[in-house]
Amino acid sequence: MRRFAPLVQLAAPLLLVVLAALLGTLVSRSSETYFIDALVKVAIVVGLYVFIGNSGVLSFGHATFVAMGAYFSALLTIPPDQKTFQFLTMPHWLSSWIFPTQLSPFEAILIGAGFAALVAAIFAPPIARLTGVGAGIATLAILVMDNVFNVQTTSITRGTSTLIGVPLTTTYVSVLVWALIFLGFAYLFKQSRSGLRLRATRENVRAAKSVGISVDRERAIAWILSGFVAGAAGVLYGHWYVTFSPGDFYINTNGIDLVILPIAMLVIGGMGSVTGAVVGCYFVTIVYTFFNRWEVDGFSGTVRTVPSGTANLALAVTFLVVLILRPHGLSGGRELTSPLDWRLLRGRRVRRGQTAEQPAGSTK
């Protein structure tokens, strides 16, 4: 059973995603959008987990990679006649190859994710050196630079105007398949040698350096891979909502869904596990959706609406309660282990000065 424990651990988040997708097929068409949005959020949170969960370094800048994937894939998939109409002032060296290009959905995912990974690689050397508050401020600076670029380069991104004409290629099946692929990718990275070395730096940087682990290299690898997944999630996002603007990827009323909520989902679920990323995403989505619908229409008129802002207030209170009761998240930062492990650990006691492997009463 211990030999198959990794398969059981990977099966748990995959099963959660599949069950949620099956449940989404049983609801109305209008409610189905909530499930697709949740699956897109799963992809974004998993991208965060690859870096934050394994390195322990907090990042506020991953919405940058989501935006890069969304915008770059949109430029290469919008029909050529609409590009000519929207981007009248685009420089010729860009329009000469962007205007005639129209990629397939699969190509758009790869190109958008690859572009986001390239941008991540540019910022990897300085980010890999930072920890704690310094890393948080640096990644926030990346987010600010991305927002300034998206707002000011009107000839490429249309600035503050909404980008339109993006083809609707993100379907229920496609977002489910990609979410499962990203979960498998994140778990395989976690179990890889690079992932193990990175988690060693998370637990004790000095001890990791003492055995020859390059902290900067391992963090840079995770940062780039995380940017790739986040960029792919951005492509799914852009081709599901089909219209978006820079404000959707920045810290404001609209952008909180892609900047703050994914981080909160990862922390609430448990940063140390892939399962926690999925659980946190579902938990936050359910709480926010419930109060948001109550706030907007009062459940189809059967219950009176509550004041505007109740959803955000309820979400904030929920965060506080969960973190007080479960500081390591709902999953405790652990993957789902095999039933055999639970049975073997059931009667053990861990006392002061005694390891978990020593039986109670041992003087060894």
One DSSP character per residue, 52-115 reads IIHH----S-HHHHHHHHHHHHHHTTS-HHHHHHH-TT--HHHHHHHTT----HHHHHHHHHHH
The domain boundary residue, chosen from 254, 288, 305: 254
Q: What is the pLDDT along the chain (364 residues), one digit of tens a residue?
A: 566 667 777 888 888 899 988 888 887 777 788 889 999 999 999 999 999 999 999 999 999 999 999 999 999 999 998 998 889 889 999 999 999 999 999 999 999 999 999 999 999 999 999 888 899 999 999 999 999 999 999 999 999 889 988 999 999 899 999 999 999 999 999 999 999 999 999 988 999 999 999 999 999 999 999 999 999 999 999 999 999 999 899 987 666 778 888 998 999 998 888 999 999 999 998 888 888 888 777 665 556 777 777 888 888 898 899 889 998 888 887 886 644 444 433 444 444 444 434 444 444 4
Q: Do 244 and 156 share a structural domain?
A: yes
Domain presence at residue 231: yes
Domain presence at residue 328: yes
- C-beta separation of 60 from 249 below 8 A: no
Q: Do 236 and 290 share a structural domain?
A: no
Q: How many domains are there within the chain?
A: 2
Distance CA(271)–CA(40), nearest Å, equals 18
Domain presence at residue 292: yes
Per DSSP, what are the bridge partners of residue 244?
163
Q: Do 302 and 285 share a structural domain?
A: yes
Q: Do 126 and 190 share a structural domain?
A: yes
Distance CA(292)–CA(295), nearest Å, equals 5
Provide the angle, in degrees to the nearest 10, between the axes of the packed helices 215-241 and 105-128. Answer: 150
Q: Do 221 and 72 share a structural domain?
A: yes
Q: Do 266 and 146 share a structural domain?
A: no
pTM above 0.85, yes or no: yes
Q: Do 90 and 7 share a structural domain?
A: yes
Using CA atoms, how far residue 271 sits from 34, 133, 143, 205, in Å, is 24, 18, 21, 18
Q: Do 115 and 208 share a structural domain?
A: yes
Q: What are phi and psi of 244, to 5 degrees?
A: -160, 165
- C-beta separation of 25 from 176 below 8 A: no
The domain boundary residue, chosen from 218, 236, 254: 254
- C-beta separation of 68 from 247 below 8 A: no
Q: Which two tokens stand for residue 166?
A: 């993006």
Domain presence at residue 350: no
Q: Do 130 and 68 share a structural domain?
A: yes
Q: Which two tokens stand for residue 295?
A: 């706030």
The CA-based angle 116-121-127, given to 5 degrees, is 110
Q: Do 299 and 232 share a structural domain?
A: no
Q: Do 149 and 81 share a structural domain?
A: yes
Domain presence at residue 346: no
Residue partners of 253: CB distance under 8 A and separation at least 6: 247
Q: Which two tokens stand for residue 112?
A: 């958008």
Q: Do 91 and 173 share a structural domain?
A: yes
Q: Which domain holds residue 56?
A: 2-254
